[in-house]
Structure 1
Amino acid sequence: MDIIVIILVSTIFLCVFGLCLKSGNKICKSKKRLDGRTCVVTGGTSGIGLEIALDFAMRGARVIVACPFDDEGKVAKEKIIQESGNTNVVYKFLDLGSFKSVREFAADIIQTENRLDILMNNAGVGIPDHKTTDGFHIIMQVNYFGTFLLTILLLPLLKKTGTASDPSRIVNTTSILHRIAMLNLDYLNPDVGCNLFKRIMYYGNSKLCLILFSRELAKRLRGANIVIHNADPGEVGTRIFDSAGVVIGFIISILILILSKTPFEGAQTPVYAAVDETAKKVTARLFRNCTMQSPSSAATDIQLAKGLWEQSVVLVKLSKQELDECLKEN
C-alpha cells in the first residue's frame, strides 16, 4: 500500500511540475511568409526538425530536408508536401558523421541552388558511443564538427542571398546541457568506451561548441548580411534519447513528454530565431521559449571561442585557401 501511495504522489507531482514547465512554453507568433526563399533543415525528417521543415513549407518556402536515411527522407518529404500543400520540398542525403558526405552535400547545394535564406542546423545525436569513419567520436562529429564544416562551406551562398533588410539566417540548435560542459581544447575528440555520465558531458560539450562557434563566426562575418543564432528547443521527447539504451531511453522520453514539450512545441524557438523580425536585428544570441537568454559564462569566453575555431579548422581539414574563399566579402 505504501508503494502505491508513493507512486501515486510521485505521478501527481510530476504532472503538476510538468504543467508548470509547459506554462512557460511559447509559440512563434511571426506570420512572415517565405515565398521565394530557400531553407535547408538538417535532421528535417523527424522530431523537431520535421516540425521546423513543415512550418517553413507552410510559409511557402522551398524546403530542403537533409538526413542520412533515404527511406525516412522520402517519407518525410511526402508528409510535408501532403500537410502543407507545398510541392517545393526536396530530400537530400546528408550524413554529418562523414566529412566526405558534408562536402558532397554542400557542393550540391552551391551548384544547384541560386539562393539560401535559412540554414537550420538542427540535426544531432544523443549519447551513442562509437567512432565515425573519420575517426571522431560520433557525438562531437555529428553535433558539432559536421555542422561547423557544413556551415562554412555554405557561407558563399548565404552571403550572396542576404540583404541589409532581409539577412540570411543560420540557426544552430543547442541545449541547456551546454551549461554542464567541461570543454578542453586539447581533448575535442574524446575516446569511446565512456560511461553514461561522460557521454552526457560530451553532448553538453558539443552544444557549447555550437554557441562558441556562432559567436566567433558572427565576429568574422561582421558587415555581411548574415544573422547567426542559437536556439534551445527545451526538453523534448524524441528518438534522440534512444542511444541511452532501449529501457533508459524510453523512460527518459516518457518523463520528458510528461514534464515538457512535444516536437511541435520544441520547434517553436528555432523557427522564431529563423523568421522573427526582432531576431534579425541582433546576432550570435541564444533563444529559449522564443525569448533571448543569457548562456553560460563559458559560452561568452572570447578566447575559448577563438581557440575552438582554430582547432576546428584544423580538425575538419579546411585549407587556408578554402576558408578564405568562404569568408571573403562578396
Structure 2
Amino acid sequence: MLAILYLLLVIVVVAMVVGLYQKNTNIICKSKKRLDGKTAIVTGGTSGMGLRIAMDFADRGARVIVACPFVDEGATGRKLIVRKTGNEEVIFKLLDLSSNTSIRKFANDILTTEKRLDILINNAGVGTVDEFITKDGLNFIMQVNYFGTFLLTLLLLPLLKKSGSITEPARIVNTSSVLHNIGTVNFKVMNRLNHWYLIQLYGNSKLCLVLFARELTKRLKGTNVVCNCVDPGAVGTTIFNCSGKYYGAFVQFLFSVLFKTPWEGAQTAIYAALDKKAGLVSGEYFKNCRTGQAKQCAYDDNLAKELWEESVKLVKLCDDELEECFNKNL
C-alpha cells in the first residue's frame, strides 16, 4: 500500500514538473498586425483552437468566415465571437469535410460571394472516432482530416491567388500534429477499415497534410500564396470527447493544465498566418511559433507527388478542373 502511495506521489510530482516546464515554454504570438479589410476562413472555427483563432482574427478587424457541420455550434460560436470582439463581420457557413458535395457547395459559395480570401486556416479535424466509409468512398477520419482539406484548398485557390500580393501573400495554414511522426503513407490501404489502430490512422492523416503542403508549395511557385503546417502541441480540446464523455473531459482538463489550453494551442497557427517572417516561407512546419522539423519522410518529394496524384483521383478532380483551380482568374 505504501509503495502505491509513493508511486502516486512520484507521478503527481513528475506531472507538476512537466506542466510547469510546458507552461513556461509555451510561446505566444506577439504580432500586432491588423487585419482590417482582410478576409479569413477558419474551418472548425466554432470550438476549441479554431474558435480562438477566429476570435483573434475578428479582434484584429478581419471579416471572418467560420465553418463547421453543426448548425447549433456554428450559430453559438459566431455569437460568442461577435460578443467578445464587437466585430459584426463574422459569418457562419455550413461545411462538412466528410462530404465532397458539401465542400464543393461551400467553395462555390465563397468564390461567388466573397471578394477576397487572405487567410485559410485548415483547422477542422476529428480524433480517434469510429471508422466508416463515407458516401465518397473514403475513410471518414482520412476524409475529414486530409482529403476534405485537400479538395477545399484547391477549390479556393483562385480567390487566394487573386487576393495575395508580393508584399502580403495569401496564407494557407494546415493544422498537423506531433502524431504525424507515427504516420505512414500506404496507398493500397490508406482508406481501408479496421486495418490501422485509430491513433495510427490519425497520424497518417496529419502526415498527409505536411506532404500536401510541400507539394502544393512547389505547384504554387511564382504565385503570391504560401502554405505551411503547424503543430499546436498537446492541447486540451473537445477532440478528446471521442474517447467518452467523462474520460474525454478528464483528459481535456489534464492537457489544458499540464500542456496547452485551446488559446495557447492556437498561437502557432496565428503566428503562421500573421508573422512577417512566416509569410516569406512556404512548405514549412512550425511548432511553438518558430520553424520546426517534421519527420524525415515528410520531405520526400516523390512521396509527396505520388500522394498528390492519388488524392486528385480519390476526391474526383478531373484534369480540366484541376487546371482551372490553378489558372482561373476571378
In structure 1, the residue corresponding to 2:42 is in which secondary structure? strand
- Report the counterpart of residue 159 of structure 1 in structure 2: 161
Question: Aligned residue for 1:323?
Answer: 322
Match of 1:95 in 2: 96
Q: Distance in 2 between matches of 1:186 and 1:157?
A: 34
RMSD: 1.3
- Greater CA drift, 16-25 or 282-291: 16-25
Write the mapping of 1:190-209 to structure 2, written as runs, cut at 5 A: 190-191=192-193, 193=194, 198-209=197-208
In the other structure, the counterpart of 1:287 is: 286
Alignment of 1:258-297 (within 5 A): 258-297=257-296
Q: Report SS of the residue matched to 1:283.
A: coil
Change (3 A) 1:279 1:242: same
Question: For residues 6-50 of structure 1, what are the alpha-carbon distances to aligned partners after superposition, in whole Å with 9 as ceiling and x for unaligned?
Answer: 323311210111111222210000111000000000000000000
Task: State how many pairs are aligned.
Answer: 327
Mapping for residues 92-241 of structure 1, pairs under 5 Å: 92-131=93-132, 132-191=134-193, 193=194, 198-241=197-240
CA distance, structure 2, for counterparts of residue 230 and residue 172 of structure 1: 5
- 2:87 aligned partner: 86
8 Å CA contact retained: 1:237, 1:254: yes
Task: Give the distance between the partners of 2:205 and 2:312, measured in 1 at CA.
Answer: 16
Is the contact made by 1:230 and 1:285 (CA closer than 8 Å) also made in structure 2? Answer: yes
- Write out per-residue CA displacement over residues 159-190 of structure 1, whole angstroms, 9 at most, x where no aligned residue: 01101011100000000000111221222212
Secondary structure, counterpart of 2:25 in structure 1: coil
Q: Which amino acid aligns with 1:249?
A: G
**1:321 Cα deviation after fit:** 0.5
Distance in 2 (CA, whole Å) between partners of 1:253 and 1:268 is 18
2:74 is matched with which residue?
73
- Paired with 1:62 and 1:229, the residues of 2 have a C-alpha distance of 22
- Offset from partner CA, 1:59-98 (integer Å, 9 cap, x none): 0000000000001100111100010111100000000011
Q: Is the 8 A contact 2:42 2:120 kept in 1?
A: yes
Aligned to 1:255: 254
User: Which residue does the alignment assign to 1:303?
Assistant: 302
Amino acid at match of 1:166: E
**1: CA distance between counterparts of 2:113 and 2:84?**
26
Extract unaligned runs of 5+ from structure 1.
Answer: none
Question: Once the 2 structures are TM-superposed, how far is the Cα of residue 329 of structure 1 from its aligned partner?
Answer: 6.8
Secondary structure in 1 matching 2:186: coil
8 Å contact kept, 1:237–1:262: yes
Match of 1:53 in 2: 54
CA drift at 1:258 = 3.1
Instruction: Kindly state the Cα deviation for residue 251 of structure 1 after the two structures are TM-superposed.
Output: 4.2
Residue ranges of structure 2 left out of the alignment (5+ in a row): none
Query: Percent identity among equivalent residues?
Result: 56
What amino acid is the match of 1:59?
R
Query: 1:246, CA displacement in angstroms?
Result: 3.5
Q: Distance in 2 between matches of 1:187 and 1:298?
A: 18
Q: What code does the residue aligned with 2:216 have?
A: L
Any idea what the Cα deviations from partners look like across 1:198-240, whole Å, max 9, x if unmatched? 1101100000000000000010010000011101111101111
Residue 31 of structure 2 corresponds to 30
- Tell me the amino acid that sits aligned with residue 125 of structure 2: G
> 4+ runs of 1 displaced by more than 6 Å?
none
User: Contact conserved, 1:224 with 1:329, CA < 8 A, in 2?
Assistant: no
Structure-1-length-normalised TM-score? 0.96
State the shift of 1:318 in Å: 0.3
Please give the alpha-carbon distance, in whole angstroms, between the structure 1 residues aligned to 2:44 and 2:69: 8
TM-score between both structures, scaled by the size of structure 2: 0.96
